[in-house]
A and B are shown apart, each in its own frame.
Chain A
Amino acid sequence: MLPADSAQRLVSLLTQALEECLEKQQQLQRELVRCGAVLGDWNLQAPDSPTVKDCSSDNQEREPSTEELEELELLNKALEKALKVRSKFLGQVPLRETAEGTKALEKKPVAHVAVKQQGANSKLVKMTPVAKSVKMTPVSQKPACPQKLSAYMLKAPYRTDPAVKRPQGKTSARMSCRLSKVYGKSSPKGAACPKDKSPVTLTGAEHGKISAAENPRVLPGTSESLQDAKQSSSLCNSTGGGDFASASPSFLGMEQHPSRESSPGMCTAPQTSTLQEKGSSLKLPVPYKKASSRLARLWEDGRLCQTSPEAATARDHFMEKLQVTFCSSSPSFSLLEVEKELTCLHGVYFLMSQYVETEVPASLGENPTWEREYEILLTLEGLQPALSQCLDKVCQLEEAVESHRQLFPADSAHGEADSSSAEGPFRWRQRTCGAEAFGPPPLLYYSSLKELQELEALKLQVATLHRQINIQKAMEGELLPLLEPGPAPQGSCASLYRAIYTLLCEGGERFPALVSEEELSHCLEP
C-alpha cells in the first residue's frame, strides 16, 4: 500500500496522461473515418448524406435529424386525421387487415399473396447491381412492408429517401450531390407523403379496435387488391375494391417505380467510383477556390503588414507609462517565461551531464591517447563557462520568482491554495508553444509514405519519451522515499520493492525476481 497523498498524485498524473492519449486517439479516429469515407466508393456515399454527416460529426447513433422528426410529426397528424375520416367509412376499409387478418382469421390466400409479394420484391432487389451494399437492401424492400407488416410505418418516410435518390448514382459525383440534396428535401413532403398515408393508417393503437369490427367484410377486397398489385400496378387504381383498397396498391405502384427504374440505371453506371480512379481529374468547387485564394492572399498581406514606427512608439510609450504604475518594478521574467527558461535549462543541464559522463576517467580506458585526453580537457573547460552562464540564469530566475512571491502576503502558504485553484491558469494545456510565425503556414514536404510514417512515429516517440521522463521523475519523487528503512512489515515490503523496481528501473515492462535467501537455501539442500 502506498501513502494516500503520494498515491493520489501519481494516479492523477497517470490518468491525466491516459486521458490526453485517449482524447488524441478519438480525434485520430474521427480523422480516419473521414479519410476512409473520402477514399471509399463515392457513388455509395455521395447521395447518402445522413451517413456522411454521421461520420464527420461524431454522432454515434444514427438518429433522424430534427427536421426529419418534425416532418414525421406532421405526417402523423395528417394521418391521424385521415384515420378519423376513414373510420366513418368503416365498411370501405378493406386493406387494414392484411397483417392482422392473416393470423387472426384463416385467410390463407391473403397470407400467401403477401409472401409471394415479398418474394418478388426480394428477387427484384437481387437483380439490382447495387444491392450488394447492405444499406440498399432494406430500402428496396420497403415497398413490401406496407402489405406485410404495418408496424414499419414510421420508418418508411425517411428510409425511403435513398431509394428515391438512387437513380442519381450514374451522374457525376458533384451533380449527384446537388441533385440528391434536392431529392432529399422534396421526397418526404412530396413524393413519399401521400403514398405513405395508407400504410400508416394500418397501424397504431386504433388498429386493433378497427380490425375487430371490420374483419369479415374486409377480406375479399384485400386479396383482390393485393393480387392486383402483384400483377400490375397501373391496374390498381381502376379496381373497384373500395377506396382504400385502391389507395394502397397505387402506393405500391408508385414506390416500386423508382426502384425499377433505378435498376437499369445502375447497370449502366460504373459499379464503383473511387478517388483512386478519378482523383486526378477532380476540380475544386469554384467558390471554394475563390475563397481559399482570397484567404491566402489576406494571410500573405497580414504577414507583410508591419506596425508603423509611429504606432510602435506610441504603443511603447503607453506600455511604459502603464508599467510605471506597476507595484515594484517588474522582474525581467514573467512566471511563464520563467517556466520556459527553466525547461530549456533542464535540457542544457542534461546535455552537459552527458558530456561529463563520457569524459570521466573511468570511461577512457587504461591508456588514453594524448589527443583524446587533450580533447577531454578542452571539452570540460568549455563546459565551465556554459555552466556558470546557466547558474547566472538560474539566479535571475530565482530573483524573478522571489519578486513575484513578494506580491503575496507571507502567510498565504499552501493551505488555502489547493482549494481555490480549480479555475487557475495552470490547468491549461498550451496548444502550441506560440512559436508560430504570423502568416501562411510553412510547408513540410515528404516524398514517400515510408518517410511520412517514420516522421509520425518519431514524433510520437519523442512525445511519449517526454511523458515517460516526466512520469519517471514524479515517481522517483514519490516512491524512492518509501525505500527508506521504516516500520513497514517485512512481508509486503518485498513485493513493494519489486513493484517499485519494475516501475522505476524497467519502465514497468519487466519484472525482477526477488528470492528469499532462506527459501533458496531450502531449495538447494533438499
Chain B
Amino acid sequence: MRSSSVQTSGAAGAMKRQKPGRSTADLPAAIGALSLALPGARVSPETFRLAKFDRPEASIIFWKLLYSLLTQIQGGEWKESADTGSQVRFVKSVAFSHGYRRLAFYDLPCDGSAGSRELLLVFSWFLCRINLMEQLLMLNRVKPWDEVTVCTCDTTLKSWKEEKDLAPESHSKGQRDVRYLQWLNGRLQFQWRSWHTDQQEQCKLWHKVHSYTIGSHANPTTGHFSVTETDAVRHPDSCMQMLQLMESESSRLEAFLKWKPLELVYWHWMESVLGPEAEETRHHNERHKCIISPSSGVTCYSVDRIAEEIGRCKKDLLALGDMVRELVRCRKLSCQGKVEARKQELGEKEFCRTVQRAQETVRRKLSDLRGQSSPCGVDEVHGPYRLVFTGKCSRTIKTGFARPEPKKTVVEGVTATSVISELRKRKIRLTAELKQRQEVCRRKVGKAIEGLGQVLLIAPMKR
C-alpha cells in the first residue's frame, strides 16, 4: 500500500493526465484495499502496476488469483495441485460462460507465461460484472449461527451437464443391465430417506439447544445461542478458532469499506490501462472474422448442449401454443350463442357482475404465472437464513430488551409458516409434474408392451 514505486510510475503519470490531484496518491491505497478485501493471498499494488505494462512476471500471479477466486464463486473445489494449464483453461471457460468476449484473452498461452495486462482487464471486468468482491465476502463469511438455506431454485441444468464429463473409466464396462439402474435408483431412494431422518434429528437437537439457552444471548433479536456459540462457551479451543476467522473477516470487510470510496481512482486507472487500443481492436474485429482458436482450451460443447435444450423448449412451447389456439377457437364458438342467452336471462347488471367475478378469478390464477417468470423469483423466500427460535417465553424477553434500545436497523426476516406454505406450493407443483411425466410414459410403455403381442401388462396397484 505504501509502495512509492507506484506513485512515481508511468501508471501514476497516466493518472495525472486524466485526473490530477489526490487520486495519484490514492491508487496504491485503492489497490491495497482491493486485494485485502479479497480472500487468499494478497496481490501487491506493484503487481498491478507490472500488469499494466504487460510484464510477463505478473501473469502467473494473476492466473492464480483468478483461478482461486473463480473456483470459489463457482462453488468448486480449489485445488492447489491443479497445473497451470488446467487453471488457465478453467479461468477461460468461466470467463466465456459469463460472456467475456475479448479474443486476445482467449489467445493467451496455456502455460500462463504471458498476458498480465489482459488478465488485469478480465479481472476488472469480473469485479464489475459479477460483483466479485461482494460475492466472495458473502461466500466466505463466518457463520456462527444455525443456518437454513431455503432455495427452491431448480438446479436441473447444472447437474445434467456434469454428466458428460464424468466416468470415462466406466467406458470399459460397456453394456449395463437395466437392473443395475434399478438398484442404483433404489439406493438413491434409500439414501434420501436416511437423509431425511438425519435431518429431523438435527432439527430436534437444534431446537433443544435453542430452547435451553433462551434468554442467555445478549442480542435481543436472537435471544438464544446457536450450536456454534454454545460450543464456544463450552470449549475455548473452538472459540479461539472462531475468533480468528472473525478477525480475518473483519479485516476483509474493513478493507472493503476502505475500497469503496477509493473505487473511483481504480476505475480511472483501469481506463488508462485499456488505453487508446480500443478503437484499433474494433477496426481489427470488423475486418476479421472472430474465432476463438481451438488451442485456447475453451470448448463449445456446453454451447451445443444449451442450444439443444432451447430447441426442446421451443418445440414444447410451440405445441402448447397450437393447442391453446385451437381450444380458444372451439370455446369461442360454443360460448357465443350462450352469451346472448345468458345476458337476457340474468339481466344487464347481474351479467356484468358475473363477468367481473370470472375475470377476477382468472387474473388471480394467471398471476402465479407472472411470479414464475423471473429467474429465481424475487418475491420468493430464497437463500440462506439465520435460524431464530421464538418460543413462548422469548417474547417477553424480547420486549424487555427492546425497551432500552430502540432498534435502528431492522433485519429482515421471514417466518417459517410463510416458507412452509411456499414450499408446499412448490412441492405440489413438482409432484404434479413428476406424475404427469410418469403418466405420459405409462401410455408409451403400455403401447410398446401391447406391441409385443401375447403379453399382458398388469399394472401395480395404486396406493
Bound: A436/B149 CA distance, A: 11
Contact across chains for B148 and A455 when beta carbons are under 8 A apart: yes
A-B CB contact pairs (8 Å), 23 listed:
A1-B175, A1-B177, A11-B167, A24-B195, A28-B199, A288-B243, A291-B243, A298-B257, A335-B96, A336-B97, A375-B358, A380-B327, A428-B74, A440-B411, A441-B385, A442-B412, A443-B386, A444-B385, A445-B413, A460-B192, A499-B181, A510-B463, A513-B460
Contact across chains for B230 and A513 when beta carbons are under 8 A apart: no
Contact across chains for A378 and B359 when beta carbons are under 8 A apart: yes
Interface segment, A123-131, A135-143, A416-424? A416-424
Closest Cβ of chain A to B306, distance in Å, is: 6
List chain B residues, Cβ under 8 A from A317: 267, 271
Residues 444-471 of A contacting B (Cβ, < 8 Å): 444-449, 451-462, 464-471
Closest Cβ of chain A to B187, distance in Å, is: 6
List chain B residues, Cβ under 8 A from A302: 137, 253, 256-257
The answer to whether A193 has its CB under 8 Å from any CB of chain B is: no
Contact across chains for A338 and B163 when beta carbons are under 8 A apart: no
List chain A residues, Cβ under 8 A from B101: 323, 326-328, 330, 407
The answer to whether B94 has its CB under 8 Å from any CB of chain A is: yes
The answer to whether A324 has its CB under 8 Å from any CB of chain B is: yes
Contact across chains for B243 and A414 when beta carbons are under 8 A apart: no
The answer to whether B2 has its CB under 8 Å from any CB of chain A is: no
List chain A residues, Cβ under 8 A from B200: 453, 456-457
List chain B residues, Cβ under 8 A from A305: 256-257, 260
Instruction: Kindly state the interface size class of chain B when it binds its partner.
Output: 35 or more
Contact across chains for B335 and A469 when beta carbons are under 8 A apart: no
The answer to whether A63 has its CB under 8 Å from any CB of chain B is: no
Which of A16, A461, A485 makes the CB contact (< 8 A) with B159?
A16
In the complex, per-residue mask of A407-438: 1 if CB is within 8 Å of any chain B CB, else 0: 11100111011101111111111111111101
Contact across chains for B205 and A39 when beta carbons are under 8 A apart: yes
Interface centre among A291, A317, A414, by most chain B C-beta atoms within 10 angstroms, is A291
The answer to whether B128 has its CB under 8 Å from any CB of chain A is: yes
Bound: A58/B374 CA distance, A: 41
Residues 468-526 of A contacting B (Cβ, < 8 Å): 468-476, 479-480, 483, 485, 490, 493-494, 496-497, 499-518, 520
Contact across chains for A421 and B274 when beta carbons are under 8 A apart: no
The answer to whether A261 has its CB under 8 Å from any CB of chain B is: no
In the complex, per-residue mask of B204-244: 1 if CB is within 8 Å of any chain A CB, else 0: 11111100111111100100010101111111111100110
Tally of A interface residues using CB under 8 Å: 233
Q: A435-B383, A455-B419 given. 17 additional CB < 8 A pairs?
A: A1-B176, A8-B173, A15-B166, A21-B191, A174-B236, A292-B144, A317-B267, A340-B375, A345-B317, A387-B324, A404-B300, A408-B300, A442-B413, A443-B221, A446-B416, A501-B445, A511-B460
Contact across chains for A483 and B444 when beta carbons are under 8 A apart: yes
Closest Cβ of chain B to A45, distance in Å, is: 7
Contact across chains for B198 and A394 when beta carbons are under 8 A apart: no
Q: Interface residues of B: mostly helix, strand, loop or mixed?
A: helix
Contact across chains for B246 and A292 when beta carbons are under 8 A apart: yes
Contact across chains for B369 and A386 when beta carbons are under 8 A apart: yes
Contact across chains for A435 and B441 when beta carbons are under 8 A apart: no
Residues 143-168 of A contacting B (Cβ, < 8 Å): none
Contact across chains for B257 and A441 when beta carbons are under 8 A apart: no
Contact across chains for B233 and A285 when beta carbons are under 8 A apart: yes
Which of A38, A323, A356 makes the CB contact (< 8 A) with B323?
A356
Closest Cβ of chain B to A294, distance in Å, is: 6
Closest Cβ of chain A to B33, distance in Å, is: 12
List chain A residues, Cβ under 8 A from B282: 324-325
Which of B162, B171, B230, B434 makes the CB contact (< 8 A) with A465?
B434
Name the CB-closest residue of A to B228: A34
Name the CB-closest residue of A to B213: A279
Contact across chains for B185 and A14 when beta carbons are under 8 A apart: yes
Bound: A35/B234 CA distance, A: 12
List chain A residues, Cβ under 8 A from B307: 398, 401-402, 405
Contact across chains for A318 and B234 when beta carbons are under 8 A apart: no
Bound: A252/B151 CA distance, A: 62
Closest Cβ of chain B to A363, distance in Å, is: 12
List chain A residues, Cβ under 8 A from B401: none
Name the CB-closest residue of B to A26: B198
Interface centre among A13, A16, A430, A441, by most chain B C-beta atoms within 10 angstroms, is A441
Bound: A350/B254 CA distance, A: 46
The answer to whether A53 has its CB under 8 Å from any CB of chain B is: yes
Which of A35, A291, A447, A472 makes the CB contact (< 8 A) with B209?
A35
In the complex, per-residue mask of B159-188: 1 if CB is within 8 Å of any chain A CB, else 0: 111111111001101111111111011111
